[in-house]
């Protein structure tokens, strides 16, 4: 199957959280959000190694997490770039040096992703080349111009909200990133870079619980979901 590496992207500041602390380090239950995320992949037999990408000033702090929480699959802590895309590329280079063949890219502030969904995403990538977790959009979406006028209403049957992880053959994702760099293109996710080089990317339906914790309201919801899961495990 080839070795599987995971890039955990956690170099952002998270201004919308409205806290002095970067959101990935805020507590969720008794651990930082980032630790919960890392533990999901740490506990999966399929994962061979992780590369954690954080800001330069947080690397020492995160090194402490590895020892404290037994996160031995994190083999590299890389300094992030100015933008997420650059941070992911640095993670790609770290995993490439470890001989990984496959890569999952995951947001450090999505701690509620389920292992079975991760496995399904990777399986789809192995079958078809690249895959992403996503969920169908239920709300009606409008395209709006600069003046605030509605321009069109896309058919929501074809609309999916992207999540992570996103799974690729590492060499393919590296090629997509390097093409984007050469052409000065900044994508909103890794799938967008793959699409630009005509790489087919397939959707695997995820969970609506797999939220990206961005606001205080998200953090409250994540705590509720975590409590429900822990309660279910103990019943």
pLDDT of residue 235: 40
C-alpha distances in Å from residue 39, one per residue of 43, 59, 156, 184:
6, 18, 35, 35
pLDDT of residue 230: 85
Domains of the chain: 4-219 (3.90.550.10)
pLDDT of residue 195: 97
Residue 86 contacts residue 61 (beta carbons within 8 Å):
no
DSSP-derived 3-state class of residue 76: strand
Distance CA 172, CA 50 (A): 18
Record the pTM: 0.94
Q: Is 120 exposed, middle or buried (0-12, 13-18, 19+ CB in 10 A)?
A: middle
Walk along the chain (235 residues) in steps of 10 and give the mean pLDDT of each run: 94 73 93 98 98 96 97 97 96 98 98 98 97 96 97 94 98 98 96 97 98 95 93 57
Distance CA 174, CA 179 (A): 9
pLDDT digits (tens, 9 = 90+) for 38-59: 999 999 999 999 999 999 999 9
pLDDT of residue 133: 98
pLDDT of residue 18: 64
**221 closest CA partner among 232, 234, 211:** 211
């Amino acid at each position: 199957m080839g070795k599987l590496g995971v890039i955990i992207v956690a170099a952002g500041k998270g201004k919308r959280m409205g806290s002095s602390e970067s959101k990935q380090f805020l507590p969720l239950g008794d651990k930082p959000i980032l630790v919960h995320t890392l533990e999901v992949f740490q506990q999966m037999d399929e994962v061979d190694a992780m590369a954690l990408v954080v800001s330069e000033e947080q690397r020492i702090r995160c090194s402490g997490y590895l020892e404290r929480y037994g996160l031995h699959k994190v083999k590299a802590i890389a300094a992030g770039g100015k933008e997420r895309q650059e941070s992911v590329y640095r993670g790609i280079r770290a995993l490439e040096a470890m001989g990984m063949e496959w890569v999952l890219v995951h947001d450090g502030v999505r701690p509620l992703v389920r292992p079975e969904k991760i496995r399904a995403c990777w399986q789809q990538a192995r079958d078809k080349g690249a895959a992403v977790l996503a969920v169908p959009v239920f709300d009606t979406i409008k395209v709006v111009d600069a003046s605030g006028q509605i321009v069109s209403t896309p058919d929501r049957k074809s609309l999916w909200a992207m999540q992570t992880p996103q799974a690729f053959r590492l060499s393919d994702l590296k090629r997509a990133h390097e093409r984007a760099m050469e052409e000065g293109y900044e994508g909103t996710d890794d799938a967008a870079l793959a699409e630009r080089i005509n790489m087919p990317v397939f959707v695997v339906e995820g969970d609506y619980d797999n939220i990206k914790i961005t606001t205080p309201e998200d953090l409250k919801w994540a705590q509720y979901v975590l409590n429900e899961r822990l309660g279910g495990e103990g019943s």
